[in-house]
Amino acid sequence: MNEIQKEFLEILADVRAHLEYQRALGVKSIEIGSQDIQPPTAQPAAAVYTKKQTVAAPAAPPVVKEPVKTVAAAQAGQPATLESIREEIGDCTRCKLHKGRNSIVFGEGDPKATILFVGEGPGFEEDQQGRPFVGAAGQLLTDIIEKGMKIKRAEVYICNIVKCRPPNNRNPEPDEVETCIVFVKKQINVIKPKVIVTLGNVPTQNLLGTKQGITRMRGVWQEYEGIPVMPTFHPSYLLRSPGEKKHVWEDIKLVMAKLGMAVPEKK
């Protein structure tokens, strides 16, 4: 028997002696815990461990979704703009004209225009294109501006008292005008033109709060909220009554003179 065998027998004797000692104390079995022989496992990075306690790592802060800001919300408390007015109109159903419209004709031109032309409402072409004064009457108005006044149409602003086409091109009814006129008034407030030209009875009477007809009103300076207003005939009337063009030209010359523009001798 070599030294290693001797040492092994001594260890066995020690173990037996220890076990007999435990049995004498009443111990009937000795458990070996499985955790004692398990290899250590990797710890989750998101947890903090103490001796016998696992403490959850601090929770990530909740994700707060930014509310979607509309133009109106973003500009709440800010001065109105043409964009915010258009957003306010939205897909408007405030009056019965919405039922037959194809598009809302808001208006177009220079937002800082010196001259604002206001008509009564969109016609067929305007409703189709979503732009004011683009039909035959619109071409005549464009000629008045570009050939008569010698300025570009894009330099003025053009809109209507109601933004949706009345059926069969009838005049807008009082309840429709009353509902929609608030928007043209807001447009005027934003644009702040030096002169407003009202085209025909509907914008003239409703903007100025008068029952007088356009034949008596045209060519005579009026005022809306401190802004000079020149009433004149609607271009669609001129298409039916071309002999009246000379009166419109007289009215337009008054506008040009008021603004210090060079007035051509002849149209």
Which spans of this chain sit near ligand SF4 (rule: CB under 6 A)?
Answer: 89, 92-95, 97-98, 104, 162-164, 176, 179-180
Nearest approach in angstroms of CB 129 to ligand SF4 is 16
Please name which of 236, 203, 214, 255 lies closest in space to residue 134, comparing C-alpha atoms: 236
Q: Closer CB to ligand SF4, residue 157 or residue 255?
A: 157
Nearest approach in angstroms of CB 165 to ligand SF4 is 9
Q: Closer CB to ligand SF4, residue 54 or residue 93?
A: 93
Q: Closer CB to ligand SF4, residue 92 or residue 239?
A: 92
**109 φ/ψ angles, rounded to the nearest 5 degrees:** 135, -165
Q: What is the Cα 193 distance to its own chain's centre?
A: 24
> Could you give the CA distance from residue 228 to residue 208 in angstroms, rounded to a whole number?
11
Nearest approach in angstroms of CB 76 to ligand SF4 is 22
Q: Are 112 and 154 spatial neighbours (Cβ–Cβ below 8 Å)? A: no
Q: How far is CA 79 from CA 47, 67, 87, 222, in A?
A: 53, 22, 14, 27
Question: Taking the CB of residue 97, how many other CB atoms lie within 10 A of it?
Answer: 25
> Could you give the CA distance from residue 183 to residue 177 in angstroms, rounded to a whole number?
10
DSSP secondary structure letter of residue 168: G
Nearest approach in angstroms of CB 240 to ligand SF4 is 25
Q: Are 117 and 141 spatial neighbours (Cβ–Cβ below 8 Å)? A: yes
Q: Closer CB to ligand SF4, residue 86 or residue 258?
A: 86
Q: Are 98 and 92 spatial neighbours (Cβ–Cβ below 8 Å)? A: yes
Nearest approach in angstroms of CB 185 to ligand SF4 is 12
Q: Closer CB to ligand SF4, residue 104 or residue 195?
A: 104
Residue 195 belongs to what H/E stretch?
strand 195-199
Q: Closer CB to ligand SF4, residue 97 or residue 144?
A: 97
Nearest approach in angstroms of CB 211 to ligand SF4 is 22
